[in-house]
């Protein structure tokens, strides 16, 4: 399987849980050794995964660059020794500013990372999945994709900062749904998952951590549980825009630690 954005946060958590479950995992991100201000790197994630005894590969890539991301699936398949059966598009760019004055360059970065990259990686992985008769694509989305009810509805002062980010995630939801429709009947499942509350990954903690109440925070383990379910869902469960905690409640899932032991 391939997990993008796995140098830290949700991506690293998903990769660890899947390795603990016995999966061979290729992780990809920009940060191989050390980020300039955030904790976590591909090497650190790979070291955690290595203790489970499965195959672990690394592809360093900037997913906002079309040529760079074109390497990911072929290089991952080479390291896995076979095609990519499961693709988790977790990597994201979040630049939070009001639309008024938001530069085109910044918008483009977010749409490249949050919509175009997941689509391109999915299209690269799908031919081999189709030949094999099955495959799983999970795109990590966000509650910010939902529409505001419109004025004069109340909203927090920071809410106006997420419109561009939310638009990129809304695009991801629509693309995921469209891929599921196009490839229905081939055994390929395409779904999205988003947290119901904030998951305080390293990046999220820096952006919004200080502003959140405890009831606005979701555990990393719960988010991972609601995601891992989609990595082995049945063939007729596809095209769905899901929420992590809703998946846990709807399907009676037991939340596990990242090492796959029950909590």
- Laid out side by side, the sheet with 56-60 consists of 56-60, 25-29, 2-4, 86-89, 135-140, 188-194, 241-243
CA dihedral 25, 26, 27, 29 (to 10 degrees): -170
Q: Which of 52, 111, 136, 165 is catalytic?
A: 165
The reply to whether omega before 49 is within 30° of 0 (cis) is: no
165 annotated active-site: yes
- Give residues with Cβ within 8 angstroms of 255, minimum separation 6: 219, 221, 222, 225, 248, 262, 263
- Copy the structure tokens of residue 174: 């629509």
SS in 3 state form for 110-132?
HHHHHHHHHHHHHHHHHHHHHHH
CA-only gyration radius of the chain, Å: 17
Structural element, H or E, at residue 182? helix 163-182
Residue 247, CA atoms < 13 Å, CB-side half-sphere:
25
DSSP letter (8 states) at residue 186: T
Residue 52, CA atoms < 13 Å, CB-side half-sphere:
22
- Give residues with Cβ within 8 angstroms of 195, minimum separation 6: 142, 143, 218, 223, 243, 244, 245
| Beta pairing partners, 139 | 89, 192
* Catalytic site positions: 165
């Amino acid at each position: 399987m391939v997990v993008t954005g796995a140098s830290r946060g949700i991506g690293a958590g998903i990769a660890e849980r899947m390795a603990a479950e016995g999966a061979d995992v290729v992780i990809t991100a920009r940060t191989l050794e050390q980020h300039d201000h955030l904790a976590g790197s591909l090497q650190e994630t790979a070291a955690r995964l290595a203790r489970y005894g499965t195959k672990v590969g690394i592809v360093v890539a900037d997913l906002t660059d079309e040529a760079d991301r074109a390497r990911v699936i072929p290089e991952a398949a080479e390291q896995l020794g076979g095609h990519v059966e499961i693709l988790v598009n977790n990597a994201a760019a979040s630049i939070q500013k009001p639309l008024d004055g938001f530069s085109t360059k910044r918008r483009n970065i977010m749409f490249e990372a949050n919509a175009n990259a997941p689509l391109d990686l999915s299209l690269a992985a799908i031919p081999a999945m189709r030949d094999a008769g099955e495959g799983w694509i999970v795109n990590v989305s966000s509650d910010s994709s939902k529409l505001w009810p419109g004025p004069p509805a109340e909203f927090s002062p920071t809410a106006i900062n997420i419109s561009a980010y939310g638009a990129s995630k809304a695009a991801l939801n629509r693309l995921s749904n469209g891929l599921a429709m196009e490839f229905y009947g081939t055994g390929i499942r395409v779904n999205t998952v988003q947290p119901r509350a904030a998951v305080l990954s390293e990046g999220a903690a820096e952006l919004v951590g200080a502003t959140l109440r405890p009831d606005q925070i979701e555990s990393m383990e719960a988010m991972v549980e609601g995601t891992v379910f989609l990595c082995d869902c049945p063939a007729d469960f596809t095209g769905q825009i899901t929420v992590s905690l809703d998946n846990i409640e709807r399907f009676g899932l037991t939340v596990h630690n990242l090492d796959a032991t029950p909590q």
